Structure 1
Amino acid sequence: MYVVFGDRVIDSKEIVDIILKNSCFDNVEDISSRSKREDIVAINLSISAKTLNEILEEDGYELENEELEDILSEYMDIADTMAMELEEVMPQESICMAYSYRYDEVEESIKTIFVLSHEELGNRKLKDVLTRMLNLV
């Protein structure tokens, strides 16, 4: 989907490619059309629990001594952080927000919504779109 980005147009597929090349997210789905806006890129991201376990173990976290709720909370925090770090590789003049919303037991992965827009839109409007996208998924 083509998205208005300031005074130019970008393809949301380019953003998907950037995410795939620069992150550990293994399932990246463009859901920009669901936002019903021409100035928002929305991506549904997924990262496997196996990848998150490796990250936690590298940081010295002992998984076998923790409760499932604590581990899931750590998973969510890491996924949020990794999604927000993508802002560094996004087009200049962009603002991003991300929120991890669910642990998928079947896929054993964390689901995260990532939204991006031109900075002219503003953080308040981007947060409104993120909330709406979370209600859709």
Structure 2
Amino acid sequence: MYVIFKDDIIDSNDIKEIILDNSEFNILEDMSLRSKREDMLAFNMSISIDVLNEMLKDDGYDLEEENKEELLDEYMDLADTLAVELEEYMPERTILKAYSYKYDEVEGCIKLVFVMCHRDIGELKLSDIVKRLLSIVG
């Protein structure tokens, strides 16, 4: 899907490739059309628990010592952080938000919604779209 990005037109497939090439995320769905806006890019994404475990181990976490609830919070916080760090690969003047919404035990992954737009649209509109998309996937 093509979206308006200030004075440019961006193909969501190009952004999808940037995400896949520069992160460990998998794209589950291009939700740009479901945002009901012509100026927002949105994806339903996932990241493997195994990838997150390796990162947490590298940071010195003892995964055996953590209780399940605290570990789940760490997974979700880390997934959100990794998604937001993708901003450095995105077009100039991009703002984005990512929100983890589910731990999928069967697939062994954290699922999250990722939404981005041009800075001129603003954080408030971006937050509204994240909430709308979370109600769809949640």
Common topology (TM > 0.5)? yes
SS at match of 2:126: helix
Query: What TM-score, normalized by structure 1, do the two folds share?
Result: 0.97
Distance 2:127 2:98 in 1: 9
Deviations 1:49-102 (A, max 9, x none): 111110111111001111111111000010010000001110001111111111
2:90 corresponding residue in structure 1: 90
1:132 deviates by: 0.5
Residue type at the aligned position of 1:86: L
Q: Check whether the contact 2:27–2:46 (CA below 8 A) recurs between aligned residues.
A: yes
In structure 2, stretches of 5+ residues that fail to align are none
Query: What TM-score, normalized by structure 2, do the two folds share?
Result: 0.96
Distance 2:27 2:84 in 1: 16
Distance 2:58 2:127 in 1: 32
1:60 corresponding residue in structure 2: 60
Deviations 1:5-42 (A, max 9, x none): 10111000111000001111134431111111111000
Q: Is 1:99 aligned to 2:84, yes or no?
A: no
Distance 1:34 1:118 in 2: 18
1:115 corresponding residue in structure 2: 115
Residue type at the aligned position of 1:66: E
Residue type at the aligned position of 1:47: I
Q: Check whether the contact 1:27–1:47 (CA below 8 A) recurs between aligned residues.
A: no
Structure 1 ranges of 4+ moved more than 4 A: none
SS at match of 1:64: coil
Distance 1:135 1:20 in 2: 25
Percentage identity across paired residues of the two chains: 56
SS at match of 1:47: strand
Residue type at the aligned position of 2:55: I
SS at match of 1:56: helix
